[in-house]
Chain A
Amino acid sequence: MGGKTEPAKSESMATATTRSPDLINSSFFSFKSLKLKTKQQELLLRISILGLVYILAFIARLFSVLRYESMIHEFDPYFNYRTTLFLTEKGFYEFWNWFDSESWYPLGRIIGGTLYPGLMVTAALIYWALRFLRFFVHIREVCVLTAPFFASNTTLVAYFFGKEIWDTGAGLVAAVLIAICPGYISRSVAGSYDNEAVAIFALLLTFYLFVKAVNTGSLAWALGSAFGYFYMVSAWGGYVFIINLVPLYVLVLLITGRYSMRLYIAYNCMYILGMLLAMQIRFVGFQHVQSGEHMGAMGVFLLMQVFYFLDWVKYQLNDTKLFQTFLRITVTSAILVGGIALGVGTASGYISPWTGRFYSLLDPTYAKDHIPIIASVSEHQPTAWSSFMFDYHILLFLFPAGLYFCFKRLSDATIFIVMYGLTSLYFAGVMVRLILVATPAVCLISAIAVSATVKNLTSLLRTKQKVSQTGSTKGAGSSKASSKVTLDQSQPFQKNGAIALLVGVFYLLSRYAIHCTWVTSEAYSSPSIVLAARGAHGNRIIFDDYREAYYWLRQNTPTDAKIMSWWDYGYQITAMGNRTVIVDNNTWNNTHIATVGRAMSSYEDEAYDIMRSLDVNYVLVVFGGVTGYSSDDINKFLWMVRIGGGVFPVIKEPDYLVNGEFRVDKGASPKMLNCLMYKLCYYRFGELTTEYGKPPGYDRARGVEIGNKDIKLEHLEEAYTTSNWIVRIYRVKPPTNRL
């Protein structure tokens, strides 16, 4: 590089004198005329790359805002939006102590104590900051764009993390890879205002600060990682991953003989301060000292004290024989005491066992048999191979290559990233949703592979210049990276091979970019609440039935009306319809949900009794038979039966099946043809012709003609059906006068 600038300098001297009138044109794009040194050129390159990556990460997530409108997607984000709205309107004290009587009627929900406030507080802070600068935006805009903003910040953290683990080249590649990786984009598009939007940023930040603390042994960095952990705990329930991975990492370092003072300082400071900070969140409470999931961290903490003590005694004694006896006594007593304490704690029930949500990660079959609510969520299903390929593309085979490079240069930092990668990939295999947690690790390790490979290849290429510039002393000394590489005389085509491989690498990376953009555009940018389809002439048809129904509820029902629906729609009804619901997506009370499930699967008379006992005024069902929408309540019906049957044995799943098969046509079981859900979905549907050439009452989502077309409702009456029949609302009639 130094050899290049010398002739360049003389050239610029000549050009400056002859071209002074058009100075603007000459100095605009040419590095040479700026007379920058190599280091400054490199810094400029790095900063501009990071700036472009920052903007790219933000822009790639804006597809749905451009195609539809700036709105909140899915179900959970509506709850987050409603709580953020409450926070900005009423202030932090009201928010922290909020008891909500508009959901889970008649139980209510202690929102202040059962949510993770990180996301809402972050969005509220951004909103207040913008207001302070006199940008009067609506809080909804801030909520929609929070996720892309934090995705951009994640790329910066990924750069610094890559720099810490390997070098700046790996950091830059990691930033680019994570900016467009579909695994991350899926949960952080504009509009996906969910906990993961800030949680992945907090996760990577905590890990980066911890690895930095272990590398430098500084208390300040450990304090930073404790604050990062606090942010993670406030943002997402997945913090349990951090509090188990970090102790596991410390354990691995202890076992591989890498115990050091820096590790002691980093872990202890982070554990104590992190634990104390985490207990400030009401939802987490005292779990750090009482729950089985957090005991690993405490165990490793005590183990570290034992290690430090033994190390100190060994240093003081300088006599191996005495030390051996001492070691024997201490280790046996420590293990004994630890084992007894753990045993007593678990047996007496003080240390609670692993909760179902996390236990099902260790034993994937557990949820299916014991907790149907967890098993019914589509995001909790095991991952298929196609999902891995879809979300990671080339990173899938770059990951083992990166592992190879990490093992070649083992240090405390690379051991950490290897462990993070392996554990998170295991969990990603168990549950689709956890591909998100594995994405940063996969991106970082793949970045190491790409960076190391490209570096080796380009250094092979650059040795040619070193050979030809034998006269110039600057040329020989300045190319530090390539000076150690000499051409192997036995392989004459190394140059060409290197060029071919480099072209191959760039081709792969460009295919990756194309794939990621395509995936983002096609699969991960739909708002779920607005559906789109292609009409007969190729024009785009928008189904906005959900919002139509919720706004009908908002404008045409009394303000104290109670709405019964399946729990999927609870958050949306409360946020947009502004009415009280019976059950919603929080699913904290299984019996209440089972009651609703029982009502939906019983005959109309029994269901009416249940609805009267819950003071229900309106019932809302989602029906996809007219549009062919397949995520409707009839397709979810078996889960209602299973969940209801889990608590009330009177509901038996085989009653609704025929030969183990779920049918809605003439051959369906009589219980199925007369249950409340069937009646509410197919009321008046028998008169409707949905498709040319098919009989009236043809259900386009199931592809059959329905069995029971002549439906009469006794205790309910139809209140509203949206324009495409997707959402149907029924009013519960008051009991008839007794004569």
Chain B
Amino acid sequence: MVKSTTKDAQDLFRSLRSAYVATPTNLKLIDMYVCFAVFTALIQVAYMALVGSFPFNSFLSGVLSCIGTAVLAVCLRIQVNKENKEFKDLAPERAFADFVLCNIVLHLIIINFLG
């Protein structure tokens, strides 16, 4: 039972890896950005667990800015990915402009909220 589960997991891992290598570079770039943002958020949460959450608005604004920009990058990835049928007539420049606009708004709010 355990052996079959581990074998399944290994198969899973291998096939995922082989499929991922085939994705285009621009999408991999966005994925790296998402991973970086989530990693930063995790570091902030670990720091908060160590020293406490006193200026809670600062903690929230830090974490939410990371999560927010990660989510927006995922949205950009969706819109730019050529294999998504729904977005094939959306120009990638328009998608990127939306992404930049939302990020500007997000960071302006964060600056106000940071205290």
Contacts and interface: CB of A to CB of B under 8 A. Distances in A.
Interface of A: 217-220, 222-223, 260-262, 264-265, 268-269, 272-273, 275-277, 279-280, 286, 289, 308, 313, 316-319, 322, 325-326
Given A262-B86, A273-B105, A308-B74, A279 B57 contact: yes
Contacts of B87: 217, 261
Contacts of B72: 219, 269, 272
B45 interface: no
Given A273-B102, A322-B11, A289 B86 contact: no
A223 B109 contact: no
Interface in B37-72: 56-57, 60-61, 64, 67-68, 71-72
Nearest to B8: A325
A219 B98 contact: yes
Given A219-B98, A325-B12, A264 B60 contact: no
A264 B75 contact: yes
Nearest to B100: A219
Contacts of A218: 90, 98
Given A260-B86, A261-B78, A272 B68 contact: yes
User: Which secondary structure characterizes the binding site on chain B?
Assistant: helix
A365 to B, nearest CB: 36
A223 B74 contact: no
Contact of B109 (A217, A268, A273, A326): A273
16 contacts: A217-B86, A217-B87, A219-B75, A220-B101, A223-B102, A265-B75, A272-B64, A277-B109, A280-B112, A286-B60, A317-B12, A317-B15, A317-B16, A317-B19, A322-B11, A326-B12
Given A272-B67, A289-B60, A322-B8, A316 B109 contact: no
Given A219-B72, A220-B101, A265-B79, A280 B109 contact: yes
A316 B19 contact: yes
Contacts of B8: 322, 325
A321 to B, nearest CB: 9
Interface in B78-107: 78-79, 84, 86-87, 90, 95, 98-99, 101-102, 105-106
Contacts of A316: 15-16, 19-20
Nearest to A316: B19
B113 interface: yes
B110 interface: yes
B32 to A, nearest CB: 15
A219 B99 contact: yes
B19 A219 contact: no
B12 A275 contact: no
Contacts of B109: 273, 276-277, 280
A29 to B, nearest CB: 44
